[in-house]
């Protein structure tokens, strides 16, 4: 590194880039939860309707928490 050179912080992501990351992560979480729920249904621990409700609730709550955290971080 040259003498006198300064480090700069990484450029901030636009809201569109942040939303895409959020959508990607929540989508991945939904697929993982659905897979886990499928295993529980296959082994007789849950009914398929219970898995649908649980996965929907978890992903919804995660989305709300992410949005609240993101809004707080931007202030």
12-35 pLDDT tens trace: 666 555 556 888 888 899 999 999
Looking up tokens 């050179």, which residue turns up? 5
DSSP assignment string, 1-66: --TT----PPPPPPHHHHHHHHHHHHHHHHHHHHHHHHHHHHTTSS-HHHHHHHHHHHHHHHHHHH
Whether residue 54 has pLDDT greater than 80: yes
The pTM score is 0.64
Angle, helices 48-74/15-42, rounded to nearest 10 degrees: 160
The arithmetic mean of pLDDT across residues 6-17, rounded, is: 59
Q: What is the mean pLDDT of the chain?
A: 82
* Among the listed residues 26, 27, 55, 28, the one whose alpha carbon sits nearest the alpha carbon of residue 39: 55
């Amino acid at each position: 590194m040259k003498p006198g050179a300064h480090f700069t912080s990484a450029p901030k992501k636009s809201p569109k880039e942040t939303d895409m990351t959020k959508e990607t992560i929540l989508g991945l979480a939904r697929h993982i939860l659905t897979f886990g729920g499928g295993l529980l249904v296959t082994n007789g621990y849950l009914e398929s309707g219970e898995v649908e409700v649980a996965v929907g609730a978890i992903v919804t709550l995660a989305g709300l928490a992410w949005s609240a955290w993101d809004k707080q971080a931007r202030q």
